[in-house]
Chain A
């Protein structure tokens, strides 16, 4: 019950907020055209290296990307 409510509140609520203003504007669309998925240099964890998380002790972002610690 809690989770269903959270889905509506956060996900569906967020989608509504996101679509409220200027979504898909010309400028945004142009920027999107400049960055097609196949030209992305980020690749994926499979081709970029080990999918290990950010090394929080080192304090730097690892090539594999990291996450955000919360409550």
Chain B
């Protein structure tokens, strides 16, 4: 294993440890908010359990990062992401759609892809354990959106999905001219090459997230336009890397 590969793998797993810790804090906060307007919702308990899952995932990811020589640590920062002007119920819906319907759904696709490859045994074990839980985490987002759509108009979300996508974007996957060295080696250590990551990101949006939103009363046209613009920017001359 080269030093560069070790560095990339370590950084990826350290980043995931942070993402998982932040998810845990977010799920605890959202679980506390739902009973105020939907006391019978099964999503509340699912969120509480998901928070515990994310803590466990964070530990697994941090252990792998350490094994690759990367230090992890720091405090998870739980930042509410809904527009400040939103009322509490709308803010919860916004955040659950962003965190679960989009991000957790994308994570399941990424994990499923990693599981189809030949990974190092320890990496495979961690990816498998996390994937099992992330399916539930993605599903609880769609469950909450379905419950809300059953009792009120959720169409207002359509205009906000581009903000959710932009805010959660790994800009590197749309960077022009990118090339990963040794993509097969990256996969073995649980890191998707950028071209594969982009393929998964776009496919998941087009075939899972957008149809799911439309099924539940949230028009996907603004989000489709956002994606088309991102893809066009990538293929046009002068396109560069944008980060988040």
Contact = CB atoms under 8 A, between A and B. Distances in A.
A15 B112 CA distance: 21
A63 B84 contact: yes
Interface in A1-40: 2-4, 6-7, 9-11, 13-25, 27-29, 31-32, 35-37, 40
A4 B208 CA distance: 7
A70 to B, nearest CB: 4
The DSSP consensus for interface residues of chain A is: loop
A53 B167 contact: yes
B168 A40 contact: no
Contacts of A64: 83, 163
Central interface residue in B38, B87, B138, B169, by most chain A CB within 10 Å: B38
B181 interface: no
B139 A65 contact: no
B147 interface: yes
B168 A22 contact: no
B142 interface: yes
Counting chain B residues whose Cβ lies within 8 A of the other chain, the interface size class is: 35 or more
The DSSP consensus for interface residues of chain B is: helix
B186 interface: no
Nearest to A2: B112
Interface in B187-211: 203-204, 206-208, 211
Interface stretch (B94-102, B117-125, B231-239): B94-102
Contacts of B77: 59
B103 A22 contact: no
A21 B165 CA distance: 30
Counting chain A residues whose Cβ lies within 8 A of the other chain, the interface size class is: 35 or more
A13 B142 contact: yes
Contacts of A52: 163, 166
B135 A10 contact: yes
B146 A69 contact: no
Contact of A7 (B150, B168, B208): B208
Interface of B: 16, 19, 23, 26, 37-43, 46, 77, 79-87, 89-90, 94-95, 98-99, 102-113, 135, 138-147, 150-153, 155-156, 159-160, 162-170, 203-204, 206-208, 211-212, 215-216, 244
Interface of A: 2-4, 6-7, 9-11, 13-25, 27-29, 31-32, 35-37, 40-46, 48, 51-54, 56, 59-71
Nearest 10 interchain pairs by C-beta: A14-B142, A67-B167, A22-B40, A67-B168, A18-B143, A53-B167, A66-B167, A3-B207, A18-B146, A32-B152
